[in-house]
């Protein structure tokens, strides 16, 4: 039993990690331009910083072998080779030591208190007498002079300690002609850019780990504790819309009426639950909202209205999102002369703004027009209540696509003129605190929540 429990926990951990990675991927790709811009700024800062602090670094180098003169009597060639190898092994310590630096300074005429304006690095090939010396300095001639002095003083050291020797030069750079770090600023900029991208990914990962979202029906009902109307596969719908638009087939009947079968089935189930709820409460005017944008509320409202119309209910669909009207594009009804904002502002009558939906004679629409700057003022006016009351008397159902309730005040104003509302929540999207805040805002308007719709 314990093994099974651990297996379930392990599986849950793996699923959570996958969700975190998917969250990071989706948000990174969704705002790729932003992360790229941030990283570019960091990269430019790194480049400018490296450029202003840039000091040229010239490298003079040589490789040589170390061997003994024949002045010393060796009994065998093996003994001679062993001594030469031993000298080669000790060369890095001798050349790279402080004594050598003092000898070079004295040789080149520097004062004892001066620091040597170059760095000396030495390496040797294992099991051989091959030694490599590299001298770095801000001036190419200094780098070369120090290298030559190192060779001379090393030979003098051999003569004084072991009776002489010789260096066989394998390769030498001569006086360097270009700094070895000419691309330092560019490399610093690239590294800073990559570091910026890395920091963005770290931030997104931390955000994804800490993010609390609704991840299924159980999460949704546990969070809000109200009647669940159903789950709508919004990704399939969006994919279908994009495909039809790309093929040039988007029309009122084609894109709004012909939707993926799984999407249509889900809408019918939501409609059935809504009908039962409306029969119990007598609700006719129902607004549809969400916590934040891009959760699928407009598609839900539009296709729910269309589904009701297919059952021969007389349905009026009102675009109540005056900031970002989208009903007309969702149902592909084309450009309009008047919309909801025009009615509320007294620029036209209700009849002038009405559009008969070509795909179903039982559906009439008051679309949105151009976005306005004063939606709260318009929805808070007496005109709004008058419009909804008149429409409600003429129809079996009035469906209102309202703005996102967690962001603005208009849904609560519309709720005061409505019989009930539907809360659309996108799976693994909005933060649970934002969802709850949207719910509390609507509850303050005294409108009954008729059910929850989960989109995915």
* 272: pLDDT strictly greater than 90: yes
Q: What range does the domain containing 390 cover?
A: 217-455
Beta bridge partners of 431: 213
Residue 154 counted as domain residue: yes
For residues 41 and 120, membership in a common domain is answered with no
Beta bridge partners of 349: none
For residues 306 and 411, membership in a common domain is answered with yes
Residue 354 counted as domain residue: yes
Residue 259 counted as domain residue: yes
* 140: pLDDT strictly greater than 90: yes
For residues 357 and 415, membership in a common domain is answered with yes
Residue 363 counted as domain residue: yes
Task: Write the CA distances from 264 to 237, 310, 324, integer angstroms.
Answer: 9, 12, 25
Residue 239 counted as domain residue: yes
* 195: pLDDT strictly greater than 70: yes
pLDDT at 208: 72
For residues 130 and 203, membership in a common domain is answered with no
For residues 240 and 206, membership in a common domain is answered with no
Query: CA–CA separation, 450 vs 375, rounded Å?
Result: 25
In the predicted model, what is the mean pLDDT of residues 72-92?
A: 60
pLDDT, averaged across the chain: 85
Q: Torsion angle of alpha carbons 262, 268, 271, 276, nearest 10°?
A: -120
Nearest CA to 402 out of 381, 417, 386, 389 is that of 417
Distance in angstroms between the alpha carbons of the first and the last residue of the chain: 34
* 248: pLDDT strictly greater than 80: no
* 15: pLDDT strictly greater than 50: no
Tell me how crowded residue 336 is: count the other CB atoms within 10 A of its CB. 19
The confidence band for 317, taking pLDDT boundaries of 50, 70 and 90, is very high
For residues 31 and 123, membership in a common domain is answered with no
Q: Assign 295 to helix, strand or coil.
A: coil
The confidence band for 82, taking pLDDT boundaries of 50, 70 and 90, is low
For residues 389 and 262, membership in a common domain is answered with yes
pLDDT at 385: 93
The confidence band for 392, taking pLDDT boundaries of 50, 70 and 90, is very high
Residue 177 counted as domain residue: no
Residue 75 CA neighbour count, 13 Å, CB half:
0
pLDDT at 7: 46
pLDDT at 19: 65
In the predicted model, what is the mean pLDDT of residues 249-259?
A: 53
Residue 381 counted as domain residue: yes
* 296: pLDDT strictly greater than 70: yes
The confidence band for 307, taking pLDDT boundaries of 50, 70 and 90, is very high
What residues contact residue 289 under an 8 Å CB cut-off, 6+ apart? 297, 402, 403, 404, 405, 411, 421, 422, 423, 424, 438, 442
For residues 157 and 280, membership in a common domain is answered with no
The confidence band for 70, taking pLDDT boundaries of 50, 70 and 90, is very low
* 365: pLDDT strictly greater than 60: yes
The confidence band for 240, taking pLDDT boundaries of 50, 70 and 90, is confident
* 293: pLDDT strictly greater than 60: yes
Residue 63 counted as domain residue: yes
Query: CA–CA separation, 154 vs 97, rounded Å?
Result: 11
For residues 34 and 68, membership in a common domain is answered with no
pLDDT at 406: 73
For residues 346 and 248, membership in a common domain is answered with yes
User: What's the total number of domains in the chain?
Assistant: 3
Query: Looking at 138-261, which runs of residues are DSSP E strands?
Result: 165-172, 228-232
- H or E stretch covering 76: none
pLDDT at 83: 58
The enclosing domain of 317 has a CATH number of 3.40.50.300
pLDDT at 393: 94
In the predicted model, what is the mean pLDDT of residues 381-387?
A: 94
The enclosing domain of 76 has a CATH number of 3.30.70.1130
Residue scoring higher pLDDT (31 or 169): 169
In the predicted model, what is the mean pLDDT of residues 141-169?
A: 83
Query: CA–CA separation, 17 vs 289, rounded Å?
Result: 31
For residues 124 and 191, membership in a common domain is answered with no
pLDDT digits 0-9 by tens, 114-139: 899 999 999 988 777 888 999 999 99
For residues 205 and 231, membership in a common domain is answered with no
- H or E stretch covering 291: none
Identify the weakest region by mean pLDDT among 253-257, 279-283, 371-375, 429-433. 253-257
Q: Name the most confidently modeled range: 45-59, 186-200, 309-323.
A: 309-323
The confidence band for 250, taking pLDDT boundaries of 50, 70 and 90, is very low
């Amino acid at each position: 039993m314990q093994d099974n429990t651990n297996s379930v926990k392990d599986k849950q951990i793996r699923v959570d990690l996958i969700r975190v990675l998917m969250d990071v991927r989706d948000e990174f790709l969704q705002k790729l331009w932003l992360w790229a811009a941030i990283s570019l700024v960091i990269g430019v800062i790194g480049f400018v910083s490296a450029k202003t602090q840039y000091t040229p670094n010239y490298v003079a180098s040589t490789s040589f072998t170390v061997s003994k003169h024949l002045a010393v009597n060796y009994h065998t060639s093996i003994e001679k080779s062993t001594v030469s190898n031993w000298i080669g092994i000790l060369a890095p310590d001798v050349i790279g030591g402080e004594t050598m630096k003092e000898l070079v300074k004295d040789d080149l005429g520097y004062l004892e208190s001066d620091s040597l304006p170059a760095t000396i690095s030495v390496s040797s090939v294992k099991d051989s007498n091959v030694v490599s010396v590299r001298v770095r300095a801000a001036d190419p001639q200094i780098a070369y002079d120090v290298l030559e002095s190192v060779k001379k003083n090393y030979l003098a050291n051999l003569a004084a300690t072991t009776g002489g020797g010789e260096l066989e030069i394998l390769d030498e750079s001569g006086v360097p002609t270009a700094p070895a770090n000419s691309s330092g600023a560019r490399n610093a900029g690239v590294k800073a850019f990559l570091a910026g991208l890395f920091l963005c990914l770290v931030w997104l990962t931390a955000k994804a780990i800490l993010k609390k979202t609704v991840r299924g029906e159980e999460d949704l009902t546990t969070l809000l504790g109200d009647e669940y109307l159903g789950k709508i596969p919004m990704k399939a719908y969006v994919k279908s819309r994009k495909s039809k638009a790309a093929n040039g087939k988007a029309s009122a009947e084609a894109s709004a009426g012909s939707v993926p079968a799984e999407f249509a089935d889900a809408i019918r189930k939501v409609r059935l639950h809504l009908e039962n709820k409306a029969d119990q409460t007598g609700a006719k005017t129902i607004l549809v909202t969400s916590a934040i944008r891009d959760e699928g509320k407009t598609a839900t409202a539009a296709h729910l209205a269309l589904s009701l119309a297919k059952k021969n209910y007389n349905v009026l669909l009102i675009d109540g999102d005056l900031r970002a009207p989208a009903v007309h594009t969702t149902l592909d009804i084309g450009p309009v002369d008047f919309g909801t904002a025009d009615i509320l502002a007294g620029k036209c009558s209700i009849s002038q703004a009405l559009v008969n939906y070509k795909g179903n004679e039982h559906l009439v629409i008051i679309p949105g027009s151009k976005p306005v700057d004063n939606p709260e003022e318009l929805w808070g006016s007496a005109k709004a209540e008058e419009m909804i009351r008149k429409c409600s008397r003429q129809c079996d159902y009035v469906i209102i696509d309202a703005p996102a309730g967690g962001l603005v005040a208009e849904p609560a104003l519309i709720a005061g003129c409505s019989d009930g509302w539907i809360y659309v929540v996108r799976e693994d999207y909005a933060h649970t605190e934002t969802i709850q805040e949207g719910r509390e805002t609507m509850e303050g308007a005294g409108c009954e929540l008729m059910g929850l719709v989960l989109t995915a």
